[in-house]
Amino acid sequence: MAAVTTRPRSAQSEVTERIKAYILDHHLHAGDAMPTEAELMEAIGASRSSVREAIKTLSALDIVEVRHGHGTFVGRLSMSAMVESLAFRSLLSSSSDYTVLADLVSVRQMLEQGLATHIIESFTPEQERGLSALAHSMRDLAEQGKPYIEQDREFHLLLLEPLGNELVVQLTGAFWEVQSRVAPSLAVTEESWLRTANAHIEIVSATAARDLDRLHAAIEEHYAPVKEHIRLLAQ
């Protein structure tokens, strides 16, 4: 069997990893102040230029946040880097086959259908009122020939927030952000906007009725218009 070779880390990558290790070893959390540049140089044994370049890399990943005039802090650890990458890949593929966007929509559907039982179990009257108001607002806008981007985002976050799983909510927000950026290139029809709005209303009704099969069907109907549109454009 041939030996497996691993690509050695560059000096810059090594410094970046040392800073990440420092954050972990010192049990720092989002918002905590990082050491000064000089302190960090001494702590990890790296040059000023290497530390500065590593901080730039970590800042782009939202692992650290540089506040000019105040210092460097542990970042919010958001998914902004993933959003930027997926959005660009989706826009790039939209010029040919829309593969990335189609995959993203499928992941969103599978995530919500997979969590359907938990969505029903955690559903509250207050949540029902909020979701119903958003869904009917979407339908009103669709009937006026208007999109409802922000309402759609609020709906899906509110649907999943009671689960108490922060990663699920963050992923949903990230996937929604990517899809919303690419959506203008799809030229979705007014009929599709209305069909999707009605699916939101059915999602609320099915969840309130504690009907799992009906909720699964409503979620599938919700994503059907955009999936059909992607298939037509990819032909």
Q: What is the pLDDT of residues 175-229, one digit of tens each?
A: 887 777 766 656 668 888 999 999 999 999 999 999 999 999 999 999 998 888 8
94, 195: one domain: yes
169, 225: one domain: yes
59, 141: one domain: no
114, 201: one domain: yes
Let me know if residue 49 belongs to a domain.
yes
Number of domains making up the chain: 2
Let me know if residue 70 belongs to a domain.
yes
In DSSP terms, which residues pair with 74 in a beta bridge? 64
Last residue of a domain, one of 74, 105, 128: 74
17, 89: one domain: no
137, 38: one domain: no
- What is the CATH number for 126? 1.20.120.530
Last residue of a domain, one of 74, 91, 111: 74
- What is the CATH number for 32? 1.10.10.10
- Residue pLDDT tens, the chain, 235 long: 444 444 445 777 899 999 999 999 999 988 899 999 999 999 999 999 999 999 998 887 788 889 888 899 998 766 666 666 666 665 665 555 577 778 888 989 999 999 999 999 999 999 999 999 999 999 999 999 888 888 999 999 999 999 998 888 888 888 887 777 766 656 668 888 999 999 999 999 999 999 999 999 999 999 998 888 888 776 6
Last residue of a domain, one of 74, 94, 113: 74
Range of the domain at 91: 80-234
153, 43: one domain: no
Residue type, 170: Q
62, 90: one domain: no
177, 214: one domain: yes
Let me know if residue 5 belongs to a domain.
no
141, 169: one domain: yes
122, 175: one domain: yes
Let me know if residue 4 belongs to a domain.
no
28, 89: one domain: no
